[in-house]
A and B are shown apart, each in its own frame.
Chain A
Amino acid sequence: MIVFILEIITFLIDINLSNYIMILAIISILPITFYLISNYKKFLINTFLLGIIYDLLFSPFFGVNTLLFIIMGLVIIIINRKSSVINYLSIIISSVIIILFYETILYLVINITGYNIVPKIILFNRCYKVLIASVIYVSIIYLIFRKKLKNKNKRKLSY
């Protein structure tokens, strides 16, 4: 329920704020939702549904985000297997990796398909702007859910 409310609020923030600042709020909170859900299967279903909604809301091509969100979910699971602690730093690092992954894949897709051939410098400019706003947002969310996240014992995550 908490995850559901968090995601709705984040969607609203994404819809409204992305008109004025470069932010990927819903993508940046994926690591936090992973720790809150604490179940790999449920988390992947959650990312799949988020991808569908993201596609319907923001993407001109249906399916791009659905696929990307599932891949990002898997990336988060892999990162989580490598690290053993849930703290502010691990969440921020996961968010940064996910955002960079998402932006780079989209950049490659539009360039390889020839939809919009954009120079690399624009990717760098976009990435650092998105990262600043998104990291601030993740920090705020972390502060709100700090206690809840600390209570989560990572070893109890079910496969």
Chain B
Amino acid sequence: MRLSIIGIIMLSIIFMVSIIYKVSLINYFKDFFSYSNYYLTKPISYVKDEFMTIKNAKKILKENEKLMDQNNSYDLIITENNNLKKELRLLKDELELKKVLADYNKISATVIERDKMYWFNNLTIDKGIKDKIEVGMIAINSNGLIGIIERVYNNSSILRLITTNNNNYKLSVYINNKEEVCHGLITGYDYDKNVLIISGISNFCKIIENSKVITSGMGKNYPSGILVGYVSSYVSDVYDTSKIVYVKSSQNFDEIKYVMVVKNI
């Protein structure tokens, strides 16, 4: 009895101090436990990684040879890219534009934890408020869009995957056909077909299968030009007023280790 009273008094003092000094204790606790979780899983993931390395050694050697051949062509792409950047800068100066929708900063981060409760469908990354990460920013990797930052702590953040079927987070995207551009919103995820649902697309828009779906940048915190996936199929909505497009992401959501959080400049 005495111990529980002392415990309650101690907890109230801690909460009072945190309220007075505006220190969010949950931030510190969450950071501490996220990192301890990460380091506790290190030994087993290290053993697993070592096994996988040995298993994949031959495959990697073959892939390496192929990549060496492809590498020569990258020099050309890099020079082309540099030229395009210069041209863009000149055009911007000429038009006196301070920014375009495709300008963004990248913050690279490591995934330190996966949602173990399964239902929340999110990842924890090792960057937070101190690294200027904000709620609503998007995370990408080389395969395109991964998710949206949902919560930010001092040294870690929670990233909600785009495979979450939640109507409250709508991302503005466009389908890049050869002939025209069709704008829509990511409104959910179909668990049966394993595809993203994009709605609000005009009925007059012509949809071609396998067209690229790209972020439009018409939002608060995310830039344009980021690949979301490819069109797999489409249907008309219930009232036949717009089209619903199903998009297959090129991402493997089970194997995400590193991400880049992007922010509009």
Contact = CB atoms under 8 A, between A and B. Distances in A.
Interface stretch (A88-96, A117-125, A144-152): A117-125
Contact of B166 (A12, A56, A61, A114): A114
A128 interface: no
B121 interface: yes
B115 A60 contact: yes
A117 B116 contact: no
Nearest to A53: B33
A60 B166 contact: no
B33 A57 contact: yes
B72 to A, nearest CB: 39
Contacts of A12: 40
Nearest to A63: B26
Nearest to A23: B116
Given A107-B119, A115-B120, A116-B165, A15 B41 contact: yes
Contact of A62 (B4, B26, B40): B26
B48 to A, nearest CB: 8
B167 interface: yes
B122 A60 contact: yes
Report whether over half of chain B's contact residues are helix, strand or loop; otherwise say mixed: mixed
A39 B162 CA distance: 45
B149 to A, nearest CB: 12
A14 interface: yes
B119 A19 contact: no
Interface residues of B, number: 31
Contacts of A107: 119
Q: Which one of A18, A20, A62 has the highest number of Cβ atoms from chain B below 10 Å of its Cβ?
A: A18
Contacts of A58: 115-117
B65 interface: no
A158 interface: no
A44 to B, nearest CB: 12
A16 interface: yes
A19 B256 CA distance: 13
Contacts of B117: 58-59, 106
Contacts of B4: 45
B120 A116 contact: yes
A85 B94 CA distance: 85
B51 interface: no
Interface string A7-50: 00000101110111010000000000000000000000100000
B30 interface: yes
A110 B122 CA distance: 13
Contact of B45 (A19, A57, A110): A19
B29 to A, nearest CB: 5
Contacts of A115: 120, 164, 166
B146 to A, nearest CB: 16
Given A57-B33, A60-B151, A62-B26, A116 B119 contact: yes
A159 B124 CA distance: 41
B25 to A, nearest CB: 10
Given A62-B26, A110-B120, 16 more contacts: A15-B37, A16-B40, A18-B116, A19-B41, A19-B116, A20-B48, A57-B116, A58-B115, A59-B120, A60-B115, A60-B120, A60-B158, A114-B166, A115-B120, A115-B164, A116-B165
27 contacts: A12-B40, A15-B37, A15-B40, A15-B41, A16-B44, A19-B41, A19-B45, A19-B114, A19-B116, A56-B29, A56-B30, A57-B37, A58-B117, A59-B117, A60-B115, A62-B26, A106-B117, A110-B119, A110-B120, A114-B166, A114-B167, A115-B120, A115-B166, A117-B166, A117-B188, A118-B119, A119-B192
Interface of A: 12, 14-16, 18-20, 22, 45, 56-62, 106-107, 110, 114-119, 122, 126
7 closest cross-chain pairs (CB), A and B: A56-B33, A117-B165, A18-B116, A58-B116, A116-B164, A16-B44, A110-B119
